[in-house]
Chains A and B, each alone.
Chain A
Amino acid sequence: MSSIDASGNAKTVIGGHKSRTSALLLLLHMRTFVALILVFAFFAIAAPNFLTTGNMLIISKHVALNAILAIGMTFVIIAGGIDLSVGSIVGLCAMVAGYLVLYGIDLGFVGVAYSVQFNTIEICLIVLVVGIFIGWINGMLITKLNVAPFIATLGILYVARGSALLFSDGRTFPNLAGNPEYGSDTFRIIGSGTFFGLPVSVWIMVVVALGAAYLATRTPLGRHIYAVGGNERGAALSGVNVDRTKLFVYMFSGLCAALVGLIISSQLQASHPATGETFELNAIAAAVLGGTSMSGGRGRIAGTIVGAFVIGILADGLIMMGVSSFWQTVIKGLVIIAAVVVDQVQQKLQARVVLQQNAN
C-alpha cells in the first residue's frame, strides 16, 4: 500500500513496465490534442495555402461558432442531459437581433404610436435574455415536468425554429447596418470586428471557454454538475440541489446559443430564419470528440475546444484540398467514432492501472 502525505499526493514507485503503461495512458489522455496536431500537420503539408494568416483567421472564425455552442453542450452532457434545441435557438436569436436592429420594438400594441429603438449593447442584452429564457423553458420541462431531456429539447427545437420563421414570415432580415442615430451602427463589430488582430468572435469564444473552465473546476456549481451526471440520486442525498443544477446547464446552453445567433447575424449583416440548422449535431460531435461521456459525469472544457478545432480544421482543410463535401461528411463521422473507440480503450487501461496501484 502506498502512503499518503499531508497534501494527499501518493508516493508510488514506478517501475519500467509501469512507466511505459503510464506513457501510453498519457498519450491516450491527450489523444484529441494529438489528433489536432496530426490533422494540422497533415494539411500544413498537403494543402498549399493552409498555413497562411488569412486562412487561419477564417478557420478560427468558423471554429469559434461551433466551440461556443459545444461549451454549453458539454455542461448539459456532463450533467447527464442533451440539448437538441441549440441550433434553433441560434436561429431564433438571430431573428430577434435582426428585428431589433431594423425595427426596434413598436409600441403600437399598447396603443402608443411610437417605436423604441435600441443601441448595440441593449440589443445584445435582450437577445441573450431570450436565449437564457428558452434554456430556462428546457430546464423547467426537464426538472419540474419530468420530460426526458431528449424529448423536451427536441420539442423546443421545433418550437424555436417555427418561431424564427414566424418572426419574418420566412423572409430574411437584410442590411443590418444599424443606425448611428440609435447607436446600433456598431452591431457589425460583433461578427466582423477585430481586437488585437483577432476576430471579436474568437475573443468571445476565449472568454466563454475560460469562464466555463473556471466554473467547471473551481466552483461548487461546477462540481455539482459532474455529481448530478455521475449519480443523480447520490448527489441529491449529499445535499446537491439537482433541479437547480440542471436548470443552470440548460440556461447556460441557451446563453451560448444566443451568443452564436448574435455573431452570425452581425457577421452576415442579415438574419435568416434557417440559421443554425443542424448546429446542435456539430456541437455534440465536438464535445464527444473532446472526451465528454454521453452517459454523464465526465468531460472537460479544454477537450471540447480541441474537439471543435479538430472538426473545424478537418472541414476547412478538406475543402482546400478539393475533397468532395460528401466525403467530408463520411470522414467527420469516422473521426467521431474513432474518438469514442479510443476513449473506451483508455478507460479500460486506466481502470487496470488504478487496480494495480491499489494492489501494491
Chain B
Amino acid sequence: MTDANPIGLSIRNGSKIYPGTQALKNVDFDLRMGAVNVLVGENGAGKSTLMKIIAGVEQLNGGTIEIDGQQVVFADKTDAAKHGVGIVFQELNLFPNLTVAENIFVGHEKTRAGIHIDSQAQRTAAAALMKRLEQNIDPDTPLGNLRIGQQQIVEIAKALAENARILILDEPTSALSAAEVEVLFRVIGDLRKQGVGIVYISHRLEELIRIGDYITVLRDGAITGSRSMQGVDIPWIVANMIGSASKEFPKTGDHELGNEVFRVDNVCLPSPAGGYAVDHMSLSVREGEIVGLYGLMGAGRSELLECIMAQHPNSSGQIFIGGKPVKEKSVSGRIRRGLALIPEDRKRDGLVQIMTIRENLTMSSLYDFTRGFHLSLKAEASKAAEFVKRMAIKIASLEHPVSSLSGGNQQKVVIGKALMTRPKILLMDEPSRGIDIGAKAEIFRTMRRLAEDGLGILFVTSDLEEVLALSDRVLVMANGRLTGQFPAGASAAEVISAATPNLNRVETQ
C-alpha cells in the first residue's frame, strides 16, 4: 500500500495561529501520491487553512513541511507552484473580462521571446484542456459569459495547465451539476493514474466515499481521524466531524397544504445564443408547500427565478400571487407583493459586504421603520435583534460588518432579510451552497418550519439527495423547459432521467 502510494508531502506538528484564534493545532498530515486524499470537516475546522499552507498562500507558525523527504518552506504561492503544488480555491479567482484561454494562462502566459503573448498557442492548449474536461466551451469566450459551474471547470483547467504534481481541489463540485461532477471525477481518476497526489475537500460526504483513497477528518483545527478509505462509511465520518451522529434532513412535515399561492404562467426568456433560456415555463406553489426545482447546470432554473424577480426586462409571461396577476416591474414592487429571493451567489447578490449585519438584515424593509422620511434606528435595531435570535445567527455585535461572519451565518442573514419583508412566497436559489453540514441542517429545518407556518417555498438545487429529501413536490427543468414533475418520494433514477433530456424523449404535454 505504501509502495503504491508513496508519501509526497507531509506536515509534522503544524500549527497556525491567526489573531485571536488557533486555526491548526499540532497537525500531522500525509499526502499520498497517485491517490485521492480527501479532507473533511465543518466550516472553520481548518481545512482551508491547511490547504493554503500546502499551497504556500499562508505560512506555518510552528512545525515543518517536507516534500519527498526534503524540508521546504514556501515563501508564497508561486514558490509552491515551482514545487509542483497547484490549488483550485473554493472561491473562484478568475477574471470575467478576459477570455477563457487568457484566464487559464494568466500569470504564466505562453510567450515568444518572453514578451509577446502567443495567443494561438494559448488558444490551442486551452481548447485541448477543454476537450480533456469534456466541455464544449470556446477558449475565446469571455469568462463572464459562462455560468458559475463552467467557470469552476475553467479554474480546474488553470491548475491542470501548470502540470501540478500535487493538486488541491477545495469544494470543486459545490456549483457543478451531476453531469459535470461525473466529468470531474473521470479527470481526477486519470490524474491519479498519472501519479498526481490529489487533495479533495468537499461537504458532500457520498462524493468523498466514492472518490477517496485516504481520508483525514479535521475538527476545531485538530485531526480527529485519518485512515485509508476502506471500510469508511458516512456515520464514521460524521462522528469524527461533529462528535455525534446527526440527521442532516428534517422529516417532511405532515401539515395540510393550503390553496395555490403562486403561479407562473408561460414565462419565456430569449437566450442571447438564440432559442430560449427559459422556454414557456409554467408552475405553481401552494401555501405551506416546498417545491424543489432540480436540473443540471444551465437548465434555466436561476434564470427563471430572475425572471420572477423582475431581473430580465425582455422576459414574457405572467405571474400570479394568490390568484392576482403581478404587474409590478420593479424589484421593490414585487417584494411588496410578497415575493422574496435568496440569490445563488451570496457574496455578489445577497449582501452588501461592507455594511453591518443590522443594515443588511433590514435592507429590504426600511420603510417599516420609517415615518414620513424619518428612519427609527431604535425600531430597526430591535427588529434586527429579533431576527438574529429567530434565525439563531451567531454574532458578536449587530454593528459588525456582515463580511466577518461564516458562510452559514451570512446565509442566515440573507434569509432573515427576505423573511423580514413578510413574503408569501420564498424563492431560494441553491440555499445550501458552500455552507457546512451543521449550518445546512439548520437552514433545512428553517425551511420546514417556514412551510409549516404557511409560506410557499420554491427552491432550486443541484443536489439530488437534497431535492428528494426536502421537497413536497419535485419539478425538473432541462434546456429551459419543465421536463418532469414528481410527488414526494420519487425515485432518484426518475428525476435524473428527466433532467437529462438526451436520454428522455418523453413528451411533457
Contacts and interface: CB of A to CB of B under 8 A. Distances in A.
A175 B271 CA distance: 65
Contact of A359 (B20, B358, B381): B20
Interface in A307-360: 351-352, 354-360
B370 A240 contact: no
Given A237-B309, A351-B404, A357-B396, A7 B20 contact: no
B408 to A, nearest CB: 13
A7 B386 CA distance: 9
Interface residues of B, number: 49
B417 A354 contact: no
25 contacts: A2-B397, A4-B385, A4-B395, A4-B398, A6-B382, A6-B385, A8-B358, A8-B385, A8-B388, A9-B397, A10-B398, A12-B396, A217-B377, A218-B374, A220-B366, A220-B373, A227-B352, A227-B355, A234-B352, A237-B349, A238-B331, A239-B364, A352-B20, A356-B19, A358-B400
A106 B36 CA distance: 86
Contacts of B355: 226-227, 230, 297
Interface string A235-273: 111111100000000000000000000000000000000
Nearest to A214: B374
Contacts of B18: 355, 359
Main secondary structure of the interface of B (DSSP, over half): mixed
Contact of B363 (A5, A9, A221, A238): A238
B78 interface: no
A1 B405 CA distance: 12
B343 to A, nearest CB: 6
A219 interface: yes
Interface of B: 18-21, 309, 311, 330-332, 334-335, 341, 343, 348-355, 358-359, 363-364, 366-367, 370, 373-375, 377, 381-382, 384-385, 388-389, 394-398, 400-401, 404-405, 417, 421
Interface string A45-66: 0000000000000000000000
Contact of B331 (A223, A237, A352, A359): A237
A236 B350 CA distance: 10
Given A8-B381, A218-B375, A239 B349 contact: no
Contacts of B353: 230-231
Contacts of A220: 366-367, 370, 373, 375
A355 B23 CA distance: 12
Contacts of B309: 237
B86 to A, nearest CB: 28
A356 B22 CA distance: 11
A223 B359 contact: yes
A112 to B, nearest CB: 42
A233 interface: yes
Contact of B370 (A8, A219, A234): A219
A161 interface: no
A146 B16 CA distance: 47
B396 A239 contact: no
A230 B370 contact: no
Contact of B381 (A7, A218, A297, A358): A7
A2 B20 CA distance: 14
A211 to B, nearest CB: 12
B305 to A, nearest CB: 11
B400 A219 contact: no
A300 interface: no
B397 A357 contact: yes
Contact of B335 (A224, A226, A239, A351): A239
Nearest to A220: B366
B487 to A, nearest CB: 32
Nearest to B357: A8
A346 to B, nearest CB: 13
Given A226-B355, A230-B354, A10 B397 contact: yes
Contact of A231 (B351, B382, B389, B396): B351
Interface string A19-38: 00000000000000000000
A4 B389 contact: yes
Contacts of A188: none
B404 A221 contact: no
Nearest to A356: B20
B377 A218 contact: yes
B398 A235 contact: no
A51 B155 CA distance: 63
Contacts of A217: 377
Contacts of B21: 355-356, 359
> Which of A2, A8, A230 has its CB near the most chain B CB atoms (within 10 A)?
A8
A231 B347 CA distance: 9
B382 A7 contact: yes
A291 to B, nearest CB: 13
Contacts of A241: 330, 332
B409 to A, nearest CB: 9
Nearest to B367: A220
A9 B352 CA distance: 21
Nearest to A224: B366
A351 B374 CA distance: 31
Contacts of A231: 348, 351-353
Nearest to A237: B349
Contacts of A354: 396, 400-401, 404
Nearest to A354: B404
A217 B19 CA distance: 32
Given A227-B352, A239-B363, 11 more contacts: A4-B389, A10-B395, A12-B396, A12-B397, A227-B363, A234-B349, A235-B363, A237-B341, A297-B352, A354-B401, A356-B19
A219 B19 contact: no
A218 B369 CA distance: 10
Given A230-B355, A235-B352, A8 B20 contact: no
Contacts of B384: 8
Nearest to B306: A237
Nearest to A6: B385
A225 B335 CA distance: 19
